[in-house]
Structure 1
Amino acid sequence: MFNTERVPVKVYRWDDEGAPKVLPAEGDIKTILKACLVTGYGENENRKEPLGWEILFENGNDACFRSKHDKSTKWALGVHGNVEYGGCNVVALKNPVSAKKGEIEVAWESGRRKFAYANYNGLDRQSQIKWVVVGHERTFLLVILNGYYSTICPHLYFGDFPSLAAADSNNCILSFVGAERYLSNGTNSVYNLIVRDYKGDEAVSANYSFKSMGSNVVNYPNPITMGFCADDIYLSEGESNQIKLRGLLAGLWITMELMPGSDELEFGKIYHNLDGTEGEWMYFRGFNARGFLINLKEWEI
């Protein structure tokens, strides 16, 4: 259905030798992304090269990141400011002039545009952020694994995705978990913005589509499998009675069960050979208590 290729991804972790040791403070997300996307980190045999993105603008704790790949849509991600309980403002930018502004700006309305990673009671400003970044030259995913920050793992996904639209030059998505007041109970929404709809006219909110119904799913462990089932996430445009499939959220699977907290199933647990290959997958608990698995070897694009 999708005309894609599989590209290898790189994995960056807070516990790598030479990786940034980041505390919750303004500029934390910018520091992590700059190291993984632009500069790399570590020395000699511990050196990890960056994903090969560029910083177009940088001012203090604000920065604007863009893929340098020749097939990239050339939309950029701006991160700026901070969130009271950890995080930053995020915006997708076309032809940016700063980390906040560009020829076109795509962001959620004020109050929901923030990528936040802790609830009111869970943030410990003296504890190191347990971050993981996985991605390639055109797309990446950042996940925060600190179980005591919240009952889920806030995540930020940005970049190009496999699209069904013909000659699609705007197949770029900004997806993140926000609204820190709900992080304690796992009921957050995930905010998905495709920078332009399939006609190329305006930004559009995207929905996740997958094989299980969005509600009335069983709790983990599934009584049939005694574990979990997981499958691809598709991106759709439109209301519930006019859903149009737009593309694939590459690199991620979603579970068909409601998943437990980190005390029962560790955030960041690595699974091997889930799909009959030699692949590796990292588990985390996402919005509305659904589980997610990140492919640590290769993504489609």
Structure 2
Amino acid sequence: MGLPVTVYRWDDVGAPQLTSGKPSSIINILKKCLVDGYGSKSALGWTMAFADDATRSAVFRNSPTDGLGGFVQFKSYNGSDSNNNRMYVQPALYMPTAIMADAHGVGVLSAFLVGTHLDKWMIVGTSRGFYITFMSTQYKILCDSTREYPTVFAGDIESIIPNDLGAFTAGQFMSYSDSTASSWNTSFGYMSDKQVSCRLFETDGSNNYMSMGGYSPFNNGIASACGDPQGVPYTYNKITLAVINYEQISIINDSQGVNIRNSTLSPAVRGFIPAILQASISSDANSEWPVFKTINGVQHILLHGSFSAAPNKYLNLVEWYD
């Protein structure tokens, strides 16, 4: 039995609003959805572990009952609350203080920018994980040139390893090393097969990690050659998280010297990106948000593509981690 999903949107009664892409506005949206709730909607069941209004920083923790109790920090990259200021996001398995240098199991630092064209937001999630994504009233199409449309995840992956203590991560699944850059081509919508994705720590929760890639039989769509052809059957696949350079697994070992083909600490294949199905055929690049599709009897919403990558990633709106 999975966890029920809650969908939060800018147009809900009592919903917090996105104010010129300010970090304080983004943190307030996260707090209202994850911790406090608003209107008739209850919060997801996360907690706010730390907050510093002066530096526009907040650390949230997912449920230690339903999930791992992992931590994720969202912060202004320079402490400023200026309009459309770049944000950093970084996960950790444990944070005794608000300082990331004190944390254990620190994941990849990544960046995103809520630009001047973005004025709407949506959070979809559970007590274990969530996605926050941003949309535009002015530019409605799902594959809009080189404008940046961030979709940020935080939470537990769908691990195939029982009692996996290292399965918490955050970001856009686009890097396995720290990056302060933010662009359309670092957004989740641009992710393709064998894309460098994230850092995952060993299953015992130790400070040893492997860099993971996202593997799918489908690349991101080609905007100039995509569509929604009639009569052609779609197939859908989860995006698998497996070690980078999978073809070299015979020479990659875990921290105890065990080859990852046999390792229970750093297995070659770890699990899946949560709640996402990737379609074999991209939707029309000129499709306008929102696009809903029922897949295997479950409602999904189509996420933004990016420039030459037409949209083909669908987010589950009903139940995760089943």
Q: Name structure 1 gaps, 5 residues minimum.
A: none
> Is it true that 1:39 corresponds to 2:36 in the alignment?
yes
Pick one of 120, 136, 145 that aligns with 2:135.
145
Alpha-carbon distance in structure 2 between the residues aligned to 1:65 and 1:33: 9
- Quick check: 2:121–2:134 contact (8 Å CA) kept in 1? yes
Deviation at 1:38, TM superposition (A): 0.3
1:101, 1:156 → 2: CA distance? 22
Question: Would you say the 8 A contact 2:241–2:273 is kept in 1?
Answer: yes
Report the alpha carbon displacement of residue 182 of structure 1 after superposing the two structures with TM. Answer: 3.7
Deviation at 1:193, TM superposition (A): 2.1
Q: Does the 8 A contact of 1:235 with 1:249 survive in 2?
A: yes
For residues 67 and 107 of structure 1, what CA distance do their matches in structure 2 show?
A: 15
- The CA distance in 1 between the partners of 2:84 and 2:159, in whole Å, is 35
Structure 2 residue matching 1:241: 3-state secondary structure = helix
Q: Tell me the equivalent position of 1:267.
A: 289
Percent same amino acid at aligned positions?
23
- Distance in 2 of aligned mates of 1:133 and 1:67: 15
Structure 2 unmatched runs, 5+: 175-179, 250-267
Correspondence 1:299 to 2:299: no
Give matches, 1:126-275, under 5 Å: 129-146=119-136, 148=139, 151=147, 153-176=149-172, 179-182=181-184, 192-198=197-203, 200-212=206-218, 219-221=225-227, 223=229, 225-226=231-232, 229-242=235-248, 244-261=268-285, 264-271=286-293, 273-275=294-296
Match of 1:285, SS state, is: coil
Q: 1:56 aligns with which of 45, 49, 52?
A: 49
Is the CA contact (8 Å cut-off) linking 1:9 and 1:136 kept in structure 2?
yes
Provide the C-alpha distance between the structure 2 equivalents of 1:194 and 1:211, rounded to a whole number of angstroms: 22
Contact 1:77 1:158 in 2 (8 A): yes
Residue by residue over 1:220-271, the C-alpha shift from the partner in whole angstroms, topping out at 9 and shown as x without a partner, is: 325574585432222112314146221022211112234444xx21122222
Q: Larger deviation: 13-22 or 225-234?
A: 225-234
**Contact 2:191–2:220, Cα closer than 8 Å, also in 1:** no
| Deviation (angstroms), 1:140 | 0.7
The reply on whether 1:97 has 2:94 as its aligned counterpart is no
What corresponds to 2:68 in structure 1? 73
- Check 1:215–1:298 CA distance in 2 against 1; reply closer, same or farther (3 A cut): closer
Give the CA deviation at 1:70. 1.5
Q: Is the 8 A contact 2:85 2:114 kept in 1?
A: yes
Distance 1:203 1:28 in 2: 33
Q: Secondary structure at the match of 1:27?
A: helix
CA distance 1:289–1:197, change in 2 (3 Å): farther
Alpha-carbon distance, 1:51 to partner: 0.3
Q: TM-score, normalization: structure 2? A: 0.74
Query: What is the DSSP-based 3-state SS (H/G/I as helix, E as strand, rest coil) of the residue aligned with 1:165?
Result: coil
Greater displacement, 73-82 / 132-141: 73-82
Deviation string, structure 1 residues 142-193 (Cα, Å, up to 9, x no partner) = 1112274855632111111221235311111213168434459975787632
Identify if the C-alpha distance between structure 1 residues 117 and 197 changes in structure 2 by more than 3 Å, giving closer, same or farther.
Answer: farther
| Farther off after superposition, 210-219 or 11-20 | 210-219
